[in-house]
Structures are given as C-alpha cells and as structure tokens.
Amino acid sequence: KPQIGYITKSCLLLLQVHGILRRSSSFNTGRIEHLYKNPQTHTEGKMKLHYGDLTDSTCLVKIINQVKPTEIYNLGAQSHVKISFDLAEYTANVDGVGTLRLLDAIKTCGLTNSVKFYQASTSELYGKVQEIPQKETTPFYPRSPYGAAKLYAYWIVVNFREAYNMFSVNGILFNHESPRRGSNFVTRKISRSVAKIHLGQLESFSLGNLDSKRDWGHAKDYVEAMWLMLQQEEPEDFVIATGEVHSVREFVEKAFKRVGKTIVWEGKDEQEVGRCQETGVVHVNVDPKYFRPTEVDFLQGDSTKAYQRLGWKPKVTFEELVKEMVDADVELMKKNPNA
C-alpha cells in the first residue's frame, strides 16, 4: 500500500492523476517511477505530484482547491500493523484524523457535491473476527492501533456521506499484494528472502507467526474494484476479497517451491525452523520480535456484494501471485543484490 494519496481529474479525452507526496531527504518514488514521462529525469507527464501530508490540513485544502478533482482515492497511511504498536499516536493522526482532514478539505473547498471519495479501509477492522467469513455487516473488533485508527476513518466517511450527502465510500480490502509491496511486509519479505537464498546471497531469514491465516489477492485486481466503486450511481461500502485463506507457512512453502526447494518444518513454537529437504540447510527461523501484542489469527472475506453490484471478482490466483512476486524479486536481486 503506497504512502501517497491519489487525486484524479477526468475529462472526456484526458485523465490526469495528481499525487500527494511526503517530503523526504531521499527519493521515495521508487514504486511509481514508471509513471513519469521520463523516469530518468523524473519529468512529469499526466501524473502531477504535490508536496503535502495528511497531518497538514492547510496543504490539503490548497491542493484540492488548486486541482479541483472529480475523484479522490485516500491510500495514504502508516499501514504496517506491527509498527503501529510502536507509532500508535502517529498512526492515529495519519490514518484516522488524516481521513477527516481530507473530507473536511473537500467540504471547505465547496466540492461536496462534485467529488467522489474513496477511503482505503482494511480487513484489520475485523481483527478478532466475530463471524467467518467477514462481510459488510460483520461487527468490527480491531486488534491494533492501526485497526483502531482505520475504524475511526471508516465511520467518519460514513458520517460525511450521511451528513453532507457526499459520495464517499469505504473499500474494505483484504490483503492485496504485488511485486511492489513494501519490503518489510511479510509477503514481500518472504519473496525477497527466497530470491536471495536461490541466488546464494542469503542463507536464512526470520518470521513471526507462521500460522497466521490471510485472504491474499493481487493489488491490480483490487485497484479495479476501487475504481468500480466510484463509478456507481450511489455510494456504498464493499468488502473486496478472494474468499480463499492461506497461512504464512503456506506462502513460504509455495515461494520456495517456485525456486525448486521443498521446506519441511521441525520443532515447535519459537524453536520451529524450516529446513530445505534437498540440502538440509535451515532457511526459516521464528523470532518472537515479530509477534504482535494482540494477534489477528484468521481473516477471510466474502465479496458477494461486490460481485452482485459491481460485477467484480478476482482474476489472479494465490499460486500466480506467489510466482509473480518470487520471479520479480529473483530478477531484482540479480540486478542489485542490495535492493
């Protein structure tokens, strides 16, 4: 999930995308460089970037007033669940109150009746799940500062929809991955590490809860669902998921299988290791530092409503997703082992 909020301004023959970019002392646009007109010189084409921050309401008002967008996709967040326990106040400020700042900026600019607003909600709202699978009517029970902040964001979106008749929707997206996933998220950590091991650049890596189960889909499928939500006549909230559940352990096994290695598990709990059946080398360890203070053990989404109302269903399978991520990281590490 990128740290950029996207604003689109659409005309009959032109689509312009405006992004809000946090200032950094180093380049932080690596995952969107292919969208530049000239990636070497960072020359902008139909994508325009504006310096701003979800903690700065003044800049949000200025940007929205200048661009006067027709669609706003709020994808900006401190989105790492484990890190949210260490940065709880910041997470609340960006993920929770930041959403309010955006909505209020739309209202301040007098665009309540012309802008369609998408909020990147999350399956972490369900946390300690109250029913399986989870759908739009399932009660929320967040289990992290991230989930709690996103819960505020969810309800403030609903409130602006009901109070001001704004076209504002929540997309409750379950885990969505791709080769552009951030390096410290578990799926990308696995694909990067497996690639390095395959190329002889690494021997082993550590993970937390191997038995945590998630509903993983491909980001490109989910972005299509986001867009579809804003093309409807009436604003509604939707769960977006594959309906399939896989464990972290299974993701590891599939990733290693892609490079011709079979992982067998030995030991229990913190002493458990993943050993290569072919070579006997231990490639996976368990480290308690990656455990969450309150764990979310099982997430499985029911996107029946999205299928019925939007005609949406996922196209990329779990196996195809793992294959794409591992293959991409093998190519990346061949070019730059320090990537």
Tens digits of per-residue pLDDT, 77-98?
999 999 999 999 999 999 999 9
Cis bond upstream, residue 133 (ω within 30): yes
**105 contacts: CB under 8 Å, gap ≥ 6:** 57, 60, 61, 64
Could you count the other beta carbons within 10 Å of the beta carbon of residue 162?
11
Q: Which of 99, 122, 138, 242 is catalytic?
A: 122
Record the tokens describing residue 139, joined without a space: 């009660």
List the structure tokens of 15: 């689509």
> Which tokens go with 256?
């290693």
Asked if the peptide bond before residue 235 counts as cis, ω within 30 degrees of 0, the response is: no
- Annotation marks residue 122 as catalytic: yes
To 5 degrees, how large is the angle CA 284–CA 30–CA 123? 60
* One-letter amino acid for residue 331 of the chain: E
- pLDDT category at 24 given cuts 50, 70, 90 is confident
The partner residues of 117 in beta bridges, in order of sequence, read 72, 168
Q: What is the mean pLDDT of the chain?
A: 94
Which one from 6, 73, 126, 146 is the annotated catalytic residue? 146
Q: From CA 272, how far away is CA 222, in angstroms rounded?
A: 34
Catalytic residue among 71, 124, 177, 253: 124
CB 241 within 8 A of CB 300: yes
CB within 8 Å of 12: residues ≥ 6 apart: none
- What integer is the mean pLDDT of 192-201? 98
Residue 118 β-bridge partners: 73, 169
Helix (H) or strand (E) holding 322: helix 318-335
The answer to whether the CB of 282 falls within 8 A of the CB of 265 is no
Inform me whether the pLDDT recorded for 145 exceeds 80: yes
Give me the phi and psi of 93, to 5 degrees please. -65, -45
At residue 62, the pLDDT reads 98
What are the DSSP E strand ranges found in 59-194? 71-74, 116-122, 167-173, 176-177
- Residues 6 or more apart from 260 whose CB is under 8 A from it? 278
pLDDT, tens digit, 9 for 90 and up, residues 204-233: 999 999 999 999 999 999 999 999 999 999
* Dist CA 1 CA 223 (whole Å): 11
C-alpha 210/C-alpha 267 separation (Å) is 13
* Rounded CA separation 94/96 (Å): 6
In sequence order, the β-bridge partners of residue 301 are: 134
Contact 289, 119 (CB under 8 A): no
User: For residue 243, what pLDDT is reported?
Assistant: 98
**Strand 167-173 with 238-240, pairing:** parallel
pLDDT of 8 > 80? The answer is: no
Angle (deg, nearest 10), helices 318-335 and 248-258: 60
| CA quadruple 325, 224, 19, 10: dihedral, nearest 10 | 150
Is it the case that residue 125 has pLDDT exceeding 50? yes
pLDDT at 13: 47
pLDDT at position 2 is 38
Tokens representing 254 are 């599939």
User: Is 146 part of the annotated catalytic residue set?
Assistant: yes
Of 209 and 47, the structure prediction assigns the larger pLDDT to 209
**More reliable by pLDDT, 92 or 35:** 92
CA nearest to 284, candidates 193, 167, 149: 193
- pLDDT above 70 (res 4): no
% of the chain at pLDDT higher than 70: 96
Please state the separation of Cα 328 from the chain's center in Å. Answer: 18
Which pLDDT belongs to residue 6? 61
Q: What is the mean pLDDT of residues 237-246?
A: 98
- State the Cα–Cα distance between residues 211 and 249, nearest whole angstrom: 6
124 is catalytic: yes
Query: Residue 11: which pLDDT band, with cuts at 50, 70 and 90?
Result: very low
